[in-house]
Amino acid sequence: MQLSTFVDRLDETLGTADYADLDASANGLQVGPDEGTVEHVAFAVDGVEETFERAIAADADALVVHHGISWGGFDRVTGRTYDRLAPLIEHDLALYVSHLPLDGHRELGNAAGVADALDLENRTPFGELGPEFIGQRGTASEPYTPAELRSRLESALEPDGNPVQLLEFGPDEIDDVAIVTGSGTDWLDEAVDAGADALVTGEGKQQVYHEAREAGIHVALAGHYATETFGVRAIQERVEGWETELETSYFDVPTGL
């Protein structure tokens, strides 16, 4: 498959253009030639030296990640930036990035994956960011107790061997759940205003403890990395379903954070 065709197809699938003015990440093709072909696509959460090296060792032609290397552009290609870019260029490894588009996608997104794991129904977009959304909200098929919600998240997300931290300030039964993966505690007020019993996200900020306590809502901190593996895995499955013969690989490089 032509690299340009591969990129265009992913951009259309993920609605990349819709987030162009909202995301600090340069979504889409971040590194790659104008012309090229793709036979083997690798997938990972983070675009870093370790995943680049693993993709190169697997003889991949492109690597699709959630967190890329360009956040507002480069002033200089030196130091760590040079070290990250060099293997991509030297080995003709294209880098495709989908940050916020992959958080908010209704079917393939990270929040959608967490909602699937929690068996949430009646889902609606959540996590407003300008005209778009980066999360989901839904109702549990059967209400969770706080302990059951923690256990379900730990079982489904396998958060790098670390327990899910649950700030237990909400009701005894959790029915309405809001999700923004990664670093999503900035949407706590939106969750409260929506009547959610719990906000599920990856990592928190110190002040969220008191904000959640005062608002009477549970906050589950399930790990930034752990909550954001769903999107790239879902894209991998979608690509494998294309009528092509693309080989794929997935590289799990958990951070414990």
Q: Which residues are annotated as a binding site for a divalent metal cation?
A: 66-67, 103, 224, 228
Alpha helices in the chain (DSSP H): 3-14, 49-57, 79-90, 100-104, 110-117, 146-157, 188-194, 208-215, 224-227, 230-241
Which of these, 164, 163, 202, lies nearest to 67 by C-alpha position?
A: 202
Distances in whole angstroms, Cα of residue 216 to Cα of each of 115, 157, 178: 22, 25, 14
What residues pair up with 29 in beta bridges, in sequence order? 96
Sign of CA dihedral 235, 47, 203, 133: negative
Binding residue positions: 66-67, 103, 224, 228
- Give the angle subtended at the CA of 137 by the CAs of 98 and 231, to the nearest 5°: 25
> In 17-27, which positions are buried (b, 16+ CB within 10 angstroms) versus exposed (e)?
ebbeebbebbb
Q: What is the DSSP string of 208-225?
A: HHHHHHHHT-EEEE--HH
> In 144-170, which positions are buried (b, 16+ CB within 10 angstroms) versus exposed (e)?
bebeebbebbbebbebeeeebebbbbb
Intra-chain end-to-end CA distance of the chain, in Å: 36
